[in-house]
Amino acid sequence: MELRGRQLVPGRAAGQAVVMDALSFYGDVDPHTGRTPDGRSVASRVIVARRPRGSTVGSYVIYALKANGAAPAAIVMSRVDPIIVAGCVLAGIPLVDSIPEDQLSKVRDGDLVELDGSGVVRVRRAAP
């Protein structure tokens, strides 16, 4: 499957998908371990989330994840906000937005996600 969005923060990346709905880095991701409240890790994975929410501290959490070696490889969303953009700019994490929600919702946890750096996101189902 190939999704087309807008490359907001440049960079190529690949990793397993961690799928979320609404994402606030503050509260939803531990800045030390990169773990979500339900125990998944975002470290070196590609976060695939529908929309942002919540705290403006999120930018620092993204920055801290990078400093702590637990940053995601990339972030792919339908909608972003300046909080996430700023965190990704500071931490140098590739960011793609504007993926239509009906397409984004087809991505499953653990799928292999690859950003080619031009806003194109390739998704392959992981071998069972």
Partner 1 sequence: MYLTAEEERVLRGEEGEARAKALEVIVKVGEALGAERLQPIVHAHVSGVSYNNIGEPGRKFIEDLANMGARFSVPTTVNPIGFDLEAPEAFDLISADREVLEGQRAIVSALHRMGASLTLTCTPYYIPSVRGLRPGQSVAWGESNAVVYANSVLGLRTNREGGPVALMAAIAGRTYYYGMHVPEFRRPRAAYRLEAPGGYRLDYARAAVLGRVLVRLHRGEGPPLLDASVDRETFKELGAAVGAEGDIAMVFVPGLTPEEPPSRFEEVVTIDYRDVEAELESMRLDDVDLVYVGCPHASAEEVEALARELSRLKPKGNRPQLLITTSRDEERRISPEAMAVLREYGAVVLRDTCLIVSKLRREGLRVATYSYKAMFYLSRHGLRVGLESMEELARRLGSEA
- What residues are labeled active site? 55
Span interacting with partner 1, options 28-36, 42-50, 108-116, 119-127, rule CB under 8 A: 28-36
Considering the complex, state which of residue 16 and residue 51 has its C-beta at the smaller distance from partner 1: 51
DSSP one-letter code for 17:
E
Q: Does 89 bind partner 1 (CB under 8 A)?
A: yes
Return the residue matching tokens 């071998």: 127
Residues 97 and 75 sit within 8 Å (Cβ to Cβ) = no
Query: Helix, strand, or coil here: 102?
Result: helix
Question: Please, what is the minimum distance in Å from the beta carbon of residue 127 to partner 1?
Answer: 34
Nearer CB in complex with partner 1: 79/122: 79
Nearest to 27 by CA among 3, 60, 50: 60
Residue 77 or 107: which CB sits closer to partner 1? Answer: 77
